[in-house]
Structures are given as structure tokens and as C-alpha cells.
Structure 1
Amino acid sequence: MSDAPVTHIDPADFTADPYPALARMRADAPVTHVPELGATLFTLRDDIFQQEKQVETFSSCQPEGLMTLLMGENMMRKDGEAHARERKILFPALSPRTVRDTWMPLFRARTQDILNTLKPKGKCDLVRDYAMPVSAEALKLVTGLTNMPAEELDRVSQGMIDGCANYTGDPEIEANCHDCTASIDRHITEMMPHLRAHPDMSALSVQMQAGLDEPATRANIKLIISGGQNEPRDAIAGAAWALITHPDQHALIRQGRASYAQAFAEYARWISPIGMSPRRVARRDTVCGVTFEPEDRVFFMFSSAGHDEQHFDNPHIFDITRDNGPAIPFGAGPHFCGGAAVARALIAEVALPMLFNTLPGLHITGAVPFSGWAFRGPTAMPVAWAI
């Protein structure tokens, strides 16, 4: 293990709210080994921004990592040319142009259908009844798995996320993850003949058209699902919660003085849906005064970077007018999130404005619990509106 200073955490407290512990780490030991997580954490924005790019030392290749073992070797677990090649193959499905020309009209149509069903009811759980299906219907289109029900897509995404964050080795979580990946494989197999006959711009189709080998293709679809369902779901519900509970901030948008894009960017800084990215130490090296040994595990804490006091005044405050340029909620360097354009468009241009424009007087009617540190979001959000 590294020779970094040791910081202990209570895993339950860290899951309930990681930000107090991360603040102590930034102040006392910005690079620190946390035995309860079996990893050395980087917590300062500039260190993360710089070191995430040093793939010779902090490698994404993790043959024994949870994601690789559970989901297959996807492009996120490759560096250099191998990563660049698969990223290039997938780009047509995720590019800003494809998002604008192909996905956005479909996103709006499916979101409107969901809102039309919800509006007469006058109340719902915004996580389960709106954010989840909006995210899932968009992801079905982007992946090409239009044969998978929204509820199943949400289930398998959560199962994979839980599996990849299962650092305590819970066998039930691992078994459920395997069940979820098997479901994805069945749906991929079912869609392949159709997409061979009717190619489109979906991620499954563009990989098949490019001739990418099937194991990599399947692993990349699982990657997109693991990063493209729960995180947008949590950001849609979480950003809506932030605006409802900060009416002064929402008023700026209503007055044309700010945008939903700013609200999403600030929420992603403030409560990171993706809290960290893991790396494997590939060679002995001394970084930031800490010596790392091969096979050490490192976590780059994006959630902590967004609260770094060196870049953000009062980082605990939700302020959509602040400069979020230094924030790195989608990562940095060669592994910058390939689905960022999809997420921004879906959340800031579709899900949030359509929600508030369609459901007048939207307000919260009960407790809104949050959970998670590797991935974080509200677990329930009871709301009501005027019919």
C-alpha cells in the first residue's frame, strides 16, 4: 500500500454524507489512505486534474478490478491506443451533432409522453415516476436496447453500480450484479439481428458496423448503462430538488437571468452524481509526496474536487451563478465522460425545463433522503402539483 497518511471513516456515515469527511481530508491529508475503502484518495481538484492524466502511473487498466471482473473489459478500463480506438468507434452515437439531430427530438417526445401520464395524477415520487423513466427511455435509444423495459434497465444499472462499488465483498451484491449483466447480454443478443438488418446511430449498432469484437461491444454497452441510467436519473431528480428548495435560484431561470444548464452544472459540482473514479497503480512512483507501489488502488474523488475551497467560495452553497469552470464532474483527460453531451442535453434541455413547464406549482411533500459516495443521489422524492 502507499505510504500516505491514514484517515479512518465510518462507512455508514460516509455513505449518508461523504462531504464532511472529504473536507477534513482536504484540510489535513489531501492524499490519504482510507483502510475502510482499501484505497488512497486524492481529494484536491488540481491534484486530481493533473494526476488523472498520468496513466503510466495511475492506470485505468484493472484486470482484477470489480468493473472488469463483473462487466467485462470496457473502454474505460483501457488506456492509450486501445482506449482511443474504442472511443472513436463510439463517438458517432454520442457526438453533440448526433445528440442534436437524432436523439433530442426523441428525448422530448418520450419525456412528454411520461409527463402526459403523470400530470393528471397530481402527485408522484419524482425519482421513481419521472427521473427514472426519462433517463431509461433516453438510454434505450442511445444504447440500442429498445427491447428492454425501463424498469429493467434501471434495475440492471443499479445492480452493476452496486457491484462495482462492492469493496466490502458482499456476496449477495455480487450475485445480483451477475444476474443484471446476464440480463443485458440477453437483450443485446436479441437486438443484434435487428440492428444488422436495420443499422442506426445507437451505440450497439455503431460498434457492430465498425466491426468491434463482440466481447468489447458487450462490455461497452454495459459501461454506458452503468454510467447512463442512474447518474442522469439522480441528477434530474436532484437538480429539481435543488431548484425547488432554492426558489431564489429558480427565479433567476424564470427571469431569464440564468439557465437550466447552469443549474445542472452547479448541482453536478455540489452533489456529484459520480463521486469518484478508481485507478490501479501500474508502477512505483512518488506523487504529491506519497510513494505508491504497484497494484495499489487509488480513488480520484470528483465529489471532493467540486468542494475544493481553493477554487470555490462557500462550496457547500448551491449557487447557479458561480463559475463552475474548475469543476470536473465528468472527469478530465483521456477518460473524460463520453456521454457528457447526452447527459447535458437530456437533463438541462429536456428533463428539467419540461418538468417545471408542465407541472405547475411543483413542490416537495415529504423527506428526500440522499445516499452514496461513489455514486450519489436522492432515493425518493415525494412531490405534488396543481392539476
Structure 2
Amino acid sequence: MSSAPVTEIDLPGFIADPYPTLARMRATAPVTYVPQLGATLFTRRDDVFREEKRIDLFSSHQPKGLVEKIMGANLMRKDAEAHMAERRALFPALSPRTVRDHLSDQFSGIVAHHLDRLKAKGKADLVKDYALPVSADALRIMTGLTNMTATQMDAASQDMINGCANYSGNPDIAARAHAASAAVDAHIDARLPDLRARPNLSVISVLDQAGLSREQITGNIKVIIGGGQNEPRDAIAGTLWALLTHPDQRLLVETGRATHTDAFNEYVRLVTPIGMVPRRVAKPGHACGIAFEQDETIFFLFSSACRDEAYFNTPDRYDLTRDTGPAIPFGAGPHFCAGAAASRCLVADHAVPAALRSLPNLRLDGEAIFQGWAFRGLTQLPVAWDN
């Protein structure tokens, strides 16, 4: 255990709304050990930004960690050249050029399909009925797992993500996570022969063409499913929620004083969908005046860093006029999210503006509910519109 001061938390309350607790940590104990999580948390932006890069001390390699136990070894749990080799292999599938030239038009078609399906209904839950299937269909194309349905993709992602955040050791959550992982393996195995016969720019195909092993492919696909379904789904629903509940900010977009990209950037700063990454202490050492022991666990809290008062005035406010440049919702070091360009394109270029154009007088029609701390997003967003 580190020498950091101890902070006790109410775990159910932290899951419901972590931000007041994180604000107190930033103010009084920015690096603190939390017994309920079994880890030392880094909560200030500069500490997270600096220390995430110290892979010699804070290693991504966590063979006993939940992510690797559930998903298998993957590039997000490797450092230095082992990480970069797999990241280079992945790059052709998710590069900004691939997003622009290959994926963007497909994203547009996916969004149009789901909006056409919704238009006549007059009301929906934008999480379940729109953000979820749009994100899942985009991920099916990106990964190459077109043999999975959108429902199967979302369920696999959520079950694995829940398992990766299961620090309380709930056996039912663990069992569902391992079952979802095995199901994804089976779908990958079923797709590989066809993708070898007809290679394309999907993640499975480019990793296979690069010579990665079956275990490397499955591990990386599963970690991509975890973040690649969770983050865009939550950002689509969340950015729409933010604009619907902040009419003054929506007006800035409608009058051209801000863009949908600004709306996306400010939302993922305010409610960072993937709010935490774990690291293993690789050797005894010091950071931020705290002594760390080998093999203990630390968490970098992106969600807290993105609300750091040192960089963001009134950080709990959704404000499209602020500079979001210092925010690090996609990470800050060598593990910067490989799918950031795809997510921004799907959400800001297609899913959010198309919904606002296609659903006249779109408005809330019930309670919007958020949940989670390591992964946070809306669990429901009931809306109505004129038809």
C-alpha cells in the first residue's frame, strides 16, 4: 500500500455521482488511497498528465488485472515496443485517413437508417433506441464482426466493461463478463476464414494481415469492443442530453458560434465516458511526494482531471465557449485512445447533428439517468419530438 493519505468513500454514492467526492480529493488529497477500491487514485490533471507517461514506474502490464483476466492480453496492457508494435498493426483500420475516406460515409448510412426507423414513433429512449444501435453498428463495421447483431455487440461490451470495473468481486458480474468474452472469441473465429479470403480495412483483418496471433487478435478486439461501444454510445446520448438541457449552448451551435465538435469535446470533458485507467506499480518508487510499493494498483482518473479547477472555471458547467484543449478524456500518454478520430467523426459529424435535424422539436420526455465512475454514461434518455 502506498504512503498516500486514506480517503473513505461511499461506493454506491460514488457510482451514482463521483464528482463531489473527486472535487474534495483534488482539493485536499489529490493522490489518495481508497480502501473501497483497493487502489491509490491520482485526481489532478497535471499529475495524471505527467505520471501516465512514467511507464517505468506505472506499468500498463497487469497480468493479474481484471482487463487481462477477462479480455486477454492486449495493447492497452502492454508498454513500450510491445505496445507500439500492436498499435502500428492496428493503425490502418482506425487512422484519420481511414475514418475520412472509408468509415465516414458508412457512419452516415448507419445514422440515417436508425433515424428513419425512429422518425414516425414520436418518442424513444435515445440510449437504447438510438445511441446503442448506432454505436454497435459502427463497431461491427470497424471490427469486422458483422456476424454479431447490434444487441449482441452492446451486451458483450457492457458485460465485459462491467467485469473490468468489478473491483468489489461480484461473482455474477464476473461470470457474465467471462461468458461475453468467450462469445466474442467464437464470433472472431467464425469471421477469420472469410476475412482471410477477402481482406479489408476492418480491425480483425488488418491485425491478421500484420501477422498477429489469434490470441493477440482476440485480446485487442475485445478491448476495442469495450471502449469502442461504450464511449461513442455514451457520447452520442450524452452530447444530445447536454444540448437539450442547455438551450443557450444549443443556440450557439444553431447560430454558428460553436460547432457540434465543440459540443462533443465539452461533453466528454464534463462526463468522460472512460473515466479511469488502472496501472500496476512496476517497482518501488515515488510520485507526487508519495511512496509506492511494487505491484500495488493505482488509478489515473481522467474524469477528475477533466474537471480540474486549475484549468476549468466552473468545471461542473457545460460551456461551449471554454477552451477544452487541456482536457484529456482520451488519455495523455502513449496509450492515447486509438479510436478517438472514429468516435469524434461518428458522434460530432453524424449522429448528433443528424438527430437534431431529423427529429423536429426534439425534447426531454422524462428523467435522464447517469451511472458509473470508471465508465460513466446515461442509462436512459427519454425524449419526444413532433411528427
**Structure 1 residue 230: Cα displacement:** 1.5
**Structure 1 residue 216: Cα displacement:** 0.6
Q: Tell me which amino acid in the other structure corresponds to 2:110.
A: R
Aligned residue for 1:133? 133
Distance of 2:261 and 2:31 partners within structure 1: 32
Distance of 1:376 and 1:192 partners within structure 2: 33
Aligned residue for 2:382? 382
Count of residues in correspondence between the two structures: 387
Distance of 2:209 and 2:284 partners within structure 1: 40
Aligned residue for 1:335? 335
Aligned residue for 2:154? 154
Aligned residue for 2:223? 223
Give the fraction of aligned pairs with identical amino acids, expressed as a percent. Answer: 58
SS of alignment partner, residue 334 of structure 2: helix
**Structure 1 residue 182: Cα displacement:** 1.1
Aligned residue for 2:24? 24
**Structure 1 residue 23: Cα displacement:** 0.4
Task: State yes or no: 1:345 paired with 2:349.
Answer: no
Distance of 2:354 and 2:280 partners within structure 1: 41
Aligned ranges for residues 237-276 of structure 1 at < 5 Å?
237-276=237-276
Distance of 1:42 and 1:178 partners within structure 2: 29
**Structure 1 residue 118: Cα displacement:** 0.3
SS of alignment partner, residue 201 of structure 1: coil
Q: Tell me which amino acid in the other structure corresponds to 1:8.
A: E
Aligned ranges for residues 87-166 of structure 1 at < 5 Å?
87-166=87-166
**Structure 1 residue 385: Cα displacement:** 0.4
Distance of 1:70 and 1:238 partners within structure 2: 27
SS of alignment partner, residue 32 of structure 2: strand
**TM-score, normalised on structure 2?**
0.99
1:328-380 Cα shifts (integer Å, max 9, x gaps): 00001100000000100000001101110110100011011100000001101
Aligned residue for 2:325? 325
Distance of 1:230 and 1:303 partners within structure 2: 15
Aligned residue for 2:288? 288
SS of alignment partner, residue 334 of structure 1: coil
Which residues of structure 2 form unaligned runs of 5+? none
Which residues of structure 1 form unaligned runs of 5+? none
CA root-mean-square deviation: 0.5
SS of alignment partner, residue 87 of structure 1: helix
**Structure 1 residue 314: Cα displacement:** 0.5
SS of alignment partner, residue 380 of structure 2: coil
**Structure 1 residue 288: Cα displacement:** 0.5
1:16-58 Cα shifts (integer Å, max 9, x gaps): 0000000000011000000000000000000000000000000
Q: Tell me which amino acid in the other structure corresponds to 1:69.
A: K
Q: Tell me which amino acid in the other structure corresponds to 1:199.
A: P
SS of alignment partner, residue 286 of structure 1: strand
Distance of 2:362 and 2:372 partners within structure 1: 26
Distance of 2:338 and 2:382 partners within structure 1: 32
Distance of 1:154 and 1:52 partners within structure 2: 29
SS of alignment partner, residue 4 of structure 2: coil
Aligned residue for 1:365? 365
Aligned residue for 2:186? 186
**TM-score, normalised on structure 1?**
0.99
Distance of 2:287 and 2:111 partners within structure 1: 47
